[in-house]
Amino acid sequence: MTTQVASTPTYTIQTRGLNLWYGDFQALKDVTINVKPGIITALIGPSGCGKTTLLRCFNRINERYGNVTTTGEVTILDKNIYDADVSLSTLRKSVGMVFQRPNPLPISIYENVLFGVRSHTPRGAYTRRERNEMVESALCDVQLWDEVKDRLRRRATNLTLEQQQKLCIARLLPLKPRIILMDEPCSALDAEGIERIEALIDGLRKKFTILMVTHNMAQARRASHECIFMFMGRIVEHAPTLEMFLTPKQPETELYVRGRYG
């Protein structure tokens, strides 16, 4: 008998004819995209074009806001996440999210890192040693361990904004997600902080699929491998980043990347 070895999917995220309405307002219109593993994909476009709405489709957070209607298909790791048998808890373990402003909980650094895994596992599921190893591993992965290892029991909200954002990324890692969604993860940081977070994100893409919303064209060009340009709820163009910036195929894309609107 031949043993079947699980292969990495060609695309980690796929949508087919995705539409979304907030009440009577259609925010997404016939969105079809394919997002590859192992790279950073940037979602770009003018404010209000649907970038964040699309990002939030991939862990179904939009549904928290009420009066939301969705049609079409969203496939994550070869599974349609709108199928009736999909567990939102399981989905959100596989698809983590980082927001514009860091949102550490007003508890210790140590307990912040463990918050997600405690929420998704029974009490006593892990020994103290296992919990300690999770915390150290996650903080090492986001290059924060050396800075905080001697103050793990201190309040996380006392960290700098850059450290808080790294902590928010670390909080996802014990859940072993496959995908990390980032909604303008550097918007609250200074230039040096942006540079370090971008370097961190580039390192993480070797383990996770990264999909990032950004308004910063320099950042999109510098930090992503592919770009998806959105306008008025539609996908206008999806291409390798340098190709999109140097030889865009659509006139709307050219106007946007040249800074002529948006």
What six digits make up the tokens of 222?
A: 């510098």
pLDDT band for position 63 (50/70/90)? confident
Model pLDDT, residue 250: 96
What superfamily does domain 13-257 belong to in CATH? P-loop containing nucleotide triphosphate hydrolases (3.40.50.300)
What number is the average pLDDT over the span 3-27?
83
Is 60 exceeded by the pLDDT of residue 261?
yes
Model pLDDT, residue 125: 86
Query: Which residue's structure tokens are 């959105």?
Result: 230
Model pLDDT, residue 65: 82
What number is the average pLDDT over the span 222-246?
97
Please state, in angstroms and rounded to a whole number, the distance separating the CA atoms of residues 232 and 6. 39
Is 90 exceeded by the pLDDT of residue 44?
yes
Is 60 exceeded by the pLDDT of residue 166?
yes
Helix (H) / strand (E) element for 259: namely none
For the chain, helix (H) and strand (E) counts, in that order, are 10, 10
**pLDDT tens digits along 17-33:** 999 999 999 999 999 99
Cα 192–146–130 angle (5° rounding)? Answer: 130
Q: Is 176 helix (H, G, I), strand (E, B) or coil?
A: coil
What six digits make up the tokens of 117?
A: 């895994």
Report which of 178, 6, 17 is spatially closest to residue 82, judged by C-alpha positions: 17
Q: Identify the DSSP state of 219.
A: H
Q: What are the residues whose beta carbons fall under 8 Å from the beta carbon of 119, sequence distance 6 or more?
A: none
pLDDT band for position 1 (50/70/90)? very low
Q: Contact at 8 Å (CB) between 112 and 142?
A: no
Model pLDDT, residue 262: 55
What number is the average pLDDT over the span 164-190?
94
Q: Contact at 8 Å (CB) between 261 and 255?
A: yes
What number is the average pLDDT over the span 90-104?
92
| Residue-by-residue DSSP string for 120-163 | HS-TTSS-HHHHHHHHHHHHHHTT-HHHHTT-TTSBGGGS-HHH
**pLDDT tens digits along 132-143:** 999 999 999 999
Model pLDDT, residue 229: 98
